[in-house]
Amino acid sequence: MSIQDEGAEVEVKPEKAGKRAKSGRPTIRDVARLAGVSRMTVSRVMSEPDRVLPATRDRIQRAIADLGYVPDKAAGSLASRRTGFIALILPNLTNANFSTVAHGLAEVLRDADYHLLIGYTDYDLAEEDRQLTSLLARRPEAIVLAGATHSRTASRMLLSAEVPVLEIADLSGRPLQHAVGFSNYEVGRVAARHLIGRGFRRIGAVGPVQDGQIRDYRGEERMRGFEDELRLSGVPTDLVLRHGKAPLSYDHGAAAIGMLLDRDPPIDAVFAVSDLPAVGIMMECQKRGMAVPNELAVMGFGDFEIGRVTNPPLTTIHVDFHALGRRAGTILLDVLSDDDGDETPHVVDVGLSIIERGSVGKKA
Amino acid sequence: MSIQDEGAEVEVKPEKAGKRAKSGRPTIRDVARLAGVSRMTVSRVMSEPDRVLPATRDRIQRAIADLGYVPDKAAGSLASRRTGFIALILPNLTNANFSTVAHGLAEVLRDADYHLLIGYTDYDLAEEDRQLTSLLARRPEAIVLAGATHSRTASRMLLSAEVPVLEIADLSGRPLQHAVGFSNYEVGRVAARHLIGRGFRRIGAVGPVQDGQIRDYRGEERMRGFEDELRLSGVPTDLVLRHGKAPLSYDHGAAAIGMLLDRDPPIDAVFAVSDLPAVGIMMECQKRGMAVPNELAVMGFGDFEIGRVTNPPLTTIHVDFHALGRRAGTILLDVLSDDDGDETPHVVDVGLSIIERGSVGKKA
DNA sequence: GTGAAAGCGCTAACAC
DNA sequence: GTGTTAGCGCTTTCAC
């Protein structure tokens, strides 16, 4: 044993032995008592460990480990007025592109210790309102949502929420505040130009109906852009068909092309607002013994995995949704760290690109 | 004007005009003041409106609307010790089957006013621990996670969390507590039996390597079941190949089948732990001019959309993941409403079915 | 470097 | 039917 000053006995326990925890979960008070310090010092060890004497810090950390203490964020949020929540509102989670955005966003945010609170609307504006109300009660520090169109109530709530609002996935209109995404309108125009450039003149399109409260406003924007570009180029728009409710899938595509195939003069190219109906179109063609792309050129949007394995593989328009999600995350972190001097809005266009595969050829 | 008793002047304002809200957000106190009642009455209007006099209730509801009051759930949680959170931990969100589970679960829970807190692990057990710690700080009322295997720390945390734990998507082992899913081991056995039943004898399998900390334990279970069934039937297992890290995708399948095709005697059927590598296998066959199913039968798992559009369409094993998610939700609601008499664990097997399509024929 | 007091916004429990 | 009291578990602020 080394000769050493063992120090005097500890005289005062800053956290007196008053109340014992009734529930199983240890509180900061239990840790403080065990370590013989005040609750404040425990709190500091977790937020600014450097400002606590190493010896004290170690003692506290041991107490934390011994008790298996996990701080209660709800209590912390209430006191600090920082919840660490970011609200994310999406049409749904099963669309690969939306879940990829969520993934990218979560990746960036979790490193900064933020939690994503996800609400999904099933393309229903009324449900968006409900989700928003419900999420607002959690006091998110920022709100991220699929852009373009919101109800009056939603817009009002967003404005009065007093937190940054970031719209993703549509840049067609005027953003509420921050935005990162691409222009769905532009997607439509690019698609039309591509087909026209390949020599097609009997060009169709398949998109969702604009009716009722279940709507895909982003898909509608793509249709609008497509139709406008046809018109500007003097190509007739009688083959532009809106059929079925969002989210459009295989069957909608198959059904829609059925209605388009008997037109006269015959259709020779078609754009679908998403790869899913586009693939449905190809399946229907195969069933009818109609050759793609020779008898009908098919183009989609979204670059879903499925388009890589069809026969022929699908020509489509690609957007880097993972990067979009990550970019949204970095913008948020930037905005949130800035001592809320409400700086100029960030508006970022991540762009888009045509992926040429086999389903669009050249007009003979 | 009608002759009516206008009543005496109001004498006491239960919520005295003391402190004004400093921040923009109105609190329950502001509502109480405006409506001339106590905070408790406002609180009651939101939780048990029937126990408040209609006249009072209306006055309060108008005040709520006028102020745009949204109650702070963090504060409510702290006081009531009910957070309304359910934690959900998944390998990732971009796998269609996992996001479908999340969707089904969220559907059921949102009607009961619960919020899902989603953490994803990227198939990394260490990340699962981190997510768990982080989620536990939000005091979820229940924890749902992809089953089978957890670290020692994770198991300890789950046990000491004192909330119901529900494992989903694997029933191979012994559940920690509640579980709803299917047996991945059984999936493997069923797949093997199917291929054997079709007369194949040179049967291969493609699954993830069991190495490192990024692992797909559920996929490994399927492989184990597959291999066991081959052995039990006296079929050699030299074509069972573990290649690549989870999550396996197209390229892993393509690469793996490359290694299997030059074996002697030649392979005539193959099972992949997921439809994604299975489709990769088919693409590679197509590239090499090898006919599916005549020269090689291919079978997958998961019934992803993609398998419906390959040529030939993919024979696979289907699990109703949406139902699984919803079932998980109803079990939770049941367990949570039961005045936590920790009743017998729920263990539900949702079963599985073989979807026979064109990629598996019959041994000539 | 550490502690005491005060309070975040709400609700449980009990009084009236 | 409604109000009062006393916290929930933490952090802010300021004192020492």
Q: How far is CA A247 from CA A128, A189, A207, A216, in A?
A: 16, 21, 10, 7
Give pLDDT tens digits for A24-53: 789 999 999 999 999 999 999 999 999 999
- Minimal C-alpha gap between A321 and chain B (Å): 12
Q: Does one domain contain both A209 and A266?
A: yes
Interface probe for B, chosen from A88, A90, A101, A138 (most Cβ of B below 10 Å), is A138
Q: Does one domain contain both A88 and A45?
A: no
Q: What is the pLDDT of residue A7?
A: 40
List, as one string, the DSSP characters of B17-51.
S-PPP-SSS--HHHHHHHHTS-HHHHHHHHH-GGG
Q: Does one domain contain both A249 and A166?
A: no
Q: Does one domain contain both A284 and A331?
A: no
Question: Is residue B357 included in any domain, yes or no?
Answer: no
Residue B102 at interface with chain A, using a CB cutoff of 8 Å: yes
Name the helix (H) or strand (E) containing A14: none
Q: Smallest Cβ distance to A94: which of B68, B78, B99? A: B99
Across-strand partners of A204?
A270
Q: Which chain B residues are within 8 Å of A96, Cβ to Cβ?
A: 94, 96
Q: Does one domain contain both A178 and A191?
A: no
* Positions of strand C less than 7 angstroms from a protein CB: 1-13
How is residue A222 written in tokens? Answer: 């793509």
Q: Which of residues 65-94 of A touch strand C (CB under 7 A)?
A: 75, 78-79, 81
Nearest to B104 by CA among B354, B327, B328, B325: B325
Q: Do A250 and B74 touch (CB under 8 A)?
A: no
Final residue of a structural domain among A37, A53, A71: A71
Final residue of a structural domain among B14, B42, B71: B71
Q: Smallest Cβ distance to B103: which of A92, A137, A250? A: A92
Rounded to whole angstroms, the Cα distance separating A6 from A16 reads: 24
How is residue A363 written in tokens? Answer: 């007009």
Residue range(s) defining the domain that contains residue A42: 3-71
**What is the number of domains present in chain B?**
3
Beta strands A142-146 and A85-90 are parallel
Q: Which residues of chain B have pLDDT under 70?
A: 1-14, 16-23, 339-342
Give pLDDT tens digits for A224-282: 999 999 999 999 999 999 999 999 999 999 999 999 999 999 999 999 999 999 999 99
Question: Is residue B35 included in any domain, yes or no?
Answer: yes
Question: Is residue B363 included in any domain, yes or no?
Answer: no
Final residue of a structural domain among A38, A71, A104: A71
Rounded to whole angstroms, the Cα distance separating B95 from B103 reads: 12
Rounded to whole angstroms, the Cα distance separating A327 from A322 reads: 9
Q: Does one domain contain both B230 and B260?
A: yes
Q: Does one domain contain both A177 and A189?
A: no
A41 CB and strand C closer than 7 A: yes
Question: Is residue A359 included in any domain, yes or no?
Answer: no
Q: How far is CA B88 from CA A92, B116, B132, in A?
A: 17, 7, 9
Helix (H, G, I), strand (E, B) or coil at B145: strand
The alpha carbon of residue B252 and the mean position of all alpha carbons in its chain are separated, in whole angstroms, by 25
Question: Is residue B130 included in any domain, yes or no?
Answer: yes
Measured between CA atoms, the residue of chain B closest to residue A84 is B138
Q: Does one domain contain both A262 and A332?
A: no
| Ramachandran class of A9: left when φ > 0, alpha when ψ lies in -120 to 50, beta otherwise | beta
Query: B284-292: which pairs have CB atoms within 8 A and are 24 or more residues apart?
Result: B284/B253, B284/B254, B284/B257, B284/B258, B285/B257, B288/B261, B290/B261, B292/B359
Query: Which amino acid makes up residue B3?
Result: I
- List the 275-294 stretch of B: residues with Cβ below 8 A of A: 276, 279, 282-283
Measured between CA atoms, the residue of chain A closest to residue B75 is A78
Q: What is the CATH number of the domain that holds B214?
A: 3.40.50.2300
Q: What is the CATH number of the domain that holds B44?
A: 1.10.260.40
Give pLDDT tens digits for B238-296: 999 999 999 999 999 999 999 999 999 999 999 999 999 999 999 999 889 999 999 99
Q: Do A110 and B306 touch (CB under 8 A)?
A: no
Its sign, for the CA torsion A264, A270, A274, A275, is positive
A67 CB and strand D closer than 7 A: no
Q: What is the pLDDT of residue A75?
A: 97
Q: Smallest Cβ distance to B133: which of A70, A77, A93? A: A70
Q: What is the pLDDT of residue A16?
A: 64
Residue A213 at interface with chain B, using a CB cutoff of 8 Å: no
Q: Which of residues 44-63 of B touch strand C (CB under 7 A)?
A: 46-47
Q: What is the pLDDT along chain A (364 residues), one digit of tens a residue?
A: 343 444 444 444 566 665 554 457 899 999 999 999 999 999 999 999 999 999 999 999 999 999 999 999 999 999 999 999 999 999 998 999 999 999 999 999 999 999 999 999 999 999 999 999 999 999 999 999 987 778 899 998 898 888 999 999 899 888 999 999 999 999 999 999 999 999 999 999 999 999 888 999 999 999 999 999 999 999 999 999 999 999 999 999 999 999 999 999 999 999 999 999 999 999 999 889 999 999 999 999 999 998 988 889 999 999 999 999 999 999 999 999 876 556 789 999 999 999 999 999 998 7
How is residue A364 written in tokens? Answer: 């003979």
Q: Does one domain contain both B197 and B92?
A: no
Nearest to A119 by CA among B102, B81, B83: B102
Q: Does one domain contain both A207 and A292?
A: yes
Question: Is residue B362 included in any domain, yes or no?
Answer: no
Q: Does one domain contain both A90 and A28?
A: no
CA of B15 to C1' of D3 (A): 10
CA end-to-end span of chain A, whole Å? 96
Q: What is the pLDDT of residue B149?
A: 79
Question: Is residue A122 included in any domain, yes or no?
Answer: yes
Rounded to whole angstroms, the Cα distance separating A104 from B92 reads: 11
Q: Does one domain contain both A306 and A237?
A: yes
Measured between CA atoms, the residue of chain A closest to residue B77 is A74
Nearest to B136 by CA among A73, A82, A176: A73
Q: Do A309 and B306 touch (CB under 8 A)?
A: yes
Q: Do A113 and B134 touch (CB under 8 A)?
A: yes
- List the 9-28 stretch of A: residues with Cβ below 8 A of B: 23-25
Strands (E), chain A: 85-90, 115-120, 142-146, 165-168, 178-181, 203-207, 240-242, 269-272, 297-299, 316-318, 347-349, 353-355
Q: Smallest Cβ distance to A74: which of B74, B93, B102? A: B74
- Minimal C-alpha gap between B100 and chain A (Å): 6
How is residue B283 written in tokens? Answer: 């693409």
Its sign, for the CA torsion B220, B223, B229, B233, is negative
Q: Smallest Cβ distance to A117: which of B74, B115, B309? A: B115
Rounded to whole angstroms, the Cα distance separating B177 from B166 reads: 6
Measured between CA atoms, the residue of chain A closest to residue B70 is A137
Q: What is the pLDDT of residue B6?
A: 41
Question: Is residue A364 included in any domain, yes or no?
Answer: no
How is residue B68 written in tokens? Answer: 């745009």
Cis ω before A265 (30° cut-off from 0): yes
Burial of B79 (0-12, 13-18, 19+ CB in 10 A): exposed
Q: Which nucleotide is nearest to B14 (CA to C1')?
A: D3
Interface probe for A, chosen from B97, B248, B305 (most Cβ of A below 10 Å), is B305
